[in-house]
């Protein structure tokens, strides 16, 4: 899902994932980036952006298919994930998805 901006003049702009990066160590995510996660050697933690805006999006993929062996942990970064005030552990191989920020009540939601 892209980020849409509509003005009163009827024009619109769209923002989607702008770049993909390989990650094999802990990192802090940036809105509108995608990450190819490699947990072949160890568990990896991704911290979500600390000041998200509604419609911000972060995408990830288990491109080495190892989330079951070495988990991928998504850290809150100050906002809820799926309405819960706790980190999210992904332990299913080949799990590829995106998170979109929906506001303070639900926080980041899996697409």
Quick: pLDDT tens for 14-23: 567 778 999 9
| Domain harbouring 40, CATH code | 2.60.120.640
Pairing of strands 72-75, 44-47: parallel
Tally the domains of the chain: 1
Pairing of strands 19-23, 88-90: unpaired
Q: What is the pLDDT along the chain (111 residues), one digit of tens a residue?
A: 444 444 445 544 456 777 899 999 999 999 999 999 999 999 999 999 999 999 999 999 999 999 999 999 999 999 999 999 999 999 999 999 999 999 999 999 998
Q: For residue 5, is it within any domain?
A: no
Q: Furthest-apart CA pair in the chain: how many Å?
A: 52
Q: For residue 76, is it within any domain?
A: yes
Q: pTM of this prediction? A: 0.85
Q: What's the first-to-final CA gap in the chain, in angstroms?
A: 8
- Separation between Cα atoms, residue 108 and residue 100, nearest integer Å: 5
Q: For residue 58, is it within any domain?
A: yes
Q: Which domain holds residue 39?
A: 27-110
Q: For residue 35, is it within any domain?
A: yes
**CA distances to 3, 86, 100 from 33, in Å:** 12, 22, 12
């Amino acid at each position: 899902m892209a980020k849409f901006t509509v003005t009163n003049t009827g024009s619109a702009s769209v923002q989607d994932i702008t770049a993909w990066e390989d990650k094999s160590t802990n990192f802090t995510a940036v809105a509108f980036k995608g990450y190819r996660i490699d947990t072949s050697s160890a568990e990896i933690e991704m911290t979500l952006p600390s000041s998200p805006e509604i419609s911000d999006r972060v995408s990830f993929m288990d491109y080495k298919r190892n989330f079951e062996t070495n988990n991928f942990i998504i850290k809150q970064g100050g906002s809820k994930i799926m309405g819960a005030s706790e980190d999210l552990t992904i332990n299913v191989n080949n799990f590829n998805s995106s998170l979109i920020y929906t506001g303070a009540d639900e926080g980041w939601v899996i697409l």
